[in-house]
Structure 1
Amino acid sequence: MAGDSGSLSHDDLWPRAGDWTATDAVNGDVDLALIGVPTCRTSLSPTSADATPEAVRDALRRYSPFAHDADIEMLTLTDAGDITDPDGDETAAAERIGDVAARSRLLVALGGDNAASVPVAQGTWGSDIATAGLVTLDAHYDLRDGRSNGSPVRRLIEAGLDGRRVVQIGIQDFANSRAYAERAAEYDITVILRDELMCRPMADIMSEAFAIAGAAGGPIHVDLDVDVCDRSVAPACPASTPGGISAYELRQAARSAGRHPSVHSIDLVEIDATADAADARTVRLAALCVLEAAAGLADR
């Protein structure tokens, strides 16, 4: 696949991101833990999203851990590896995620399709689901019936999440249906359409979202479904459309999520690394979002 980092140059004065210590090898708590949740089997679109966690890890090495306004290098960053068969045993996946989340200030999960959001959120929230909040950046409502990558928000609400503490950012015209828009209203979900992002800064949108999602004082999970982005920057997302948000806006959202003290977990989902452009632009964007989240955490 294009983007292989095996032949990258070496410079002692230009350290590379990634290659983090395995979580199990670290004694005590950590700042940020990375974990792969390679869901793909219930996807509504044919996908090899299970290949994405490793591709993002590889892409991380193309970047340095240096940010001009945040000291990522002071953080303890670890990698918990991949969940084995998260589609087949969602309960075990949530338990493993819960164990890792309990040892970290922030957990960043690499999907997989959007089905990953269910075990990641449930594992992180644990018994706090009644006070928890959810913020999604997504072109879609994800309120479908059944179990698929199109149903995680509905499933989390049915599991006990209060719809009044769900904020969905970037919902797009011609990518949803009237029935699911009405379902979102029935659940009292706050919906911020793509058009609204054209006239409001992402930082303001995220601040509003965190105030709503965190109203009960519980933990917040942030779902970064990369198909919220314009198809030109996210060609590896099967359902991305022309007219989505920019790569920079998604990076801003990731930074805001990492910075907010109530955000305990973030997922990056809906990328099929095997379908990316030759320059691996979608996977590289996901890697940058991991680093943006770390930069935000360093600024808490």
Structure 2
Amino acid sequence: MFIQPEWQYKQENGSAMHQWIKQKENPLPNDVDIILYGALLSYSSKPSQKALYPTAFRKAWPSFQSYNLDEQVDLRSLAVVDVGDVAIHETDRMLSESAIEAAAENLSTTYSKSFTCLIGGDHAITACSLRGIKNAFPKDRIGIIQIDTHLDARNQEEIGLAMDSPIQQLIAAGVVEGKHVYNVGLHGFFNSPEMIHYAKEQGIHMITLKQMRRDGIQLTIREMLRQLMYEVDRIYVSVDLDALDIIFAPDVPAATPGGLTAYELFDILKLIGENEGVRHIDFVYADPKEGDLRPETVKMGVTAFLQWLTGIRLDYRNRISKKGNAMIR
């Protein structure tokens, strides 16, 4: 089901990211807080071309330390385990999507108390991952927070399998309800009237970047999480890096002017990490159409991932503090 990642490290003690994140097949469930895995499915029309980002993501680890100076937390207290990449088919995209679905189901079942994090690849993996999670928890209502410039809800019947229809796929299959989908970061001239009509018809919550900045990003994200916690059993977050302004993500093909700043994305992910209802996350769509990924884009994605972990660590710390105060009383 999984293959060893192209970029691996010797297991040793230390504070650099490649030292405290463990790369291990089949870890024991009680030894894992966060399960990390990759999917090499690429948006490229060439079936044999694999996604570059999961490998580049791991390759950048030695550049990052475990300590978040801004929040004064050390992430080494979190047990993060990288189990490798989903073994996708070299030429058959449908088999590859089925493999990602099966992997997500297996991890969600085996590590039911852990957070799962998927590194991609194109946005099709979001639909695959969520189908697998639904298979693992068929009775659970699932909510989606999609951080994206685009709605990604094109009619699949018209375009066939494509990276920009995962939300439509999931709603059509009954995996999620439109009213449980929150799309944040929308802006500009990048969604068709037909797609906007579909989103309204399905009850998708469209939160524009302009609206979020006007109302306050922290207030908007906290209210969205509060509402979803009331409506669903588990929350899935999909981080499409094209939500960033193009100056922050130069290798992301669909990045646009006027998107999120790096600081805004980092703040959003910290807030999301602080909410224990968010059990699953993915980071997708960083691959360039040609050439290699530049360090700027890779480091942006790694920092976003670490900000999410920071939120989880802060949540753990706050809960321990509250428990201690309750015992004192």
The normalised TM-score by structure 1 is 0.87
- Cα offset, 1:293, TM superposition: 1.4
Cα distance in structure 2, aligned partners of 1:46 and 1:243? 32
Partner residue, 2:252? 237
Match of 2:83 among 80, 87, 110: 80
Partner residue, 2:17? 17
User: Alpha-carbon deviations, 1:71-126, whole Å to 9, x = none?
Assistant: 31111110011112274322332121222234152111111011111122222343
- Cα offset, 1:271, TM superposition: 0.5
Cα distance in structure 2, aligned partners of 1:248 and 1:132? 28
Q: CA 1:42–1:205 in 2, change beyond 3 Å: closer, same or farther? A: farther
Q: CA 1:129–1:115 in 2, change beyond 3 Å: closer, same or farther? A: farther
Asked which structure has the greater CA Rg, the reply is 2
For 1:34, the aligned partner's letter is L
Cα distance in structure 2, aligned partners of 1:182 and 1:170? 18
Matched residue SS, 1:167: strand
Partner residue, 1:282? 297
- Cα offset, 1:285, TM superposition: 0.8
Cα distance in structure 2, aligned partners of 1:97 and 1:278? 26
Matched residue SS, 2:82: strand
Matched residue SS, 2:162: coil
Query: Is 1:93–2:100 an aligned residue pair?
Result: yes
Q: CA 1:254–1:291 in 2, change beyond 3 Å: closer, same or farther? A: same
Partner residue, 2:120? 111
Query: Is 1:252–2:267 an aligned residue pair?
Result: yes
Match of 1:144 among 121, 130, 154: 154
User: Whose helix proportion is higher, 1 or 2?
Assistant: 2
Q: What is the total number of aligned residue pairs between the two structures?
A: 289
Query: Is 1:210–2:225 an aligned residue pair?
Result: yes
- Kindly indicate whether the alpha-carbon contact (under 8 Å) linking 2:38 and 2:84 is maintained by their aligned counterparts in 1: yes
Cα distance in structure 2, aligned partners of 1:46 and 1:192? 34
* Higher normalized contact order (CA 8 Å, seq sep 6+, divided by chain length): 1
- Kindly indicate whether the alpha-carbon contact (under 8 Å) linking 1:139 and 1:171 is maintained by their aligned counterparts in 2: yes
Query: Structure 1: 5+ residue runs without aligned partners?
Result: 7-11
Query: Is 1:58–2:59 an aligned residue pair?
Result: yes
Cα distance in structure 2, aligned partners of 1:167 and 1:151? 15
- Kindly indicate whether the alpha-carbon contact (under 8 Å) linking 1:49 and 1:270 is maintained by their aligned counterparts in 2: no
For 1:62, the aligned partner's letter is S
Identical aligned residues as a percent = 25
Partner residue, 2:213? 198
- Cα offset, 1:148, TM superposition: 0.9
- Kindly indicate whether the alpha-carbon contact (under 8 Å) linking 2:217 and 2:268 is maintained by their aligned counterparts in 1: yes
- Cα offset, 1:49, TM superposition: 6.6
Q: Which moved more, 1:174-183 or 1:127-136?
A: 127-136
- Cα offset, 1:275, TM superposition: 5.3
Q: CA 1:72–1:96 in 2, change beyond 3 Å: closer, same or farther? A: same
Cα distance in structure 2, aligned partners of 1:219 and 1:265? 8
For 1:107, the aligned partner's letter is T
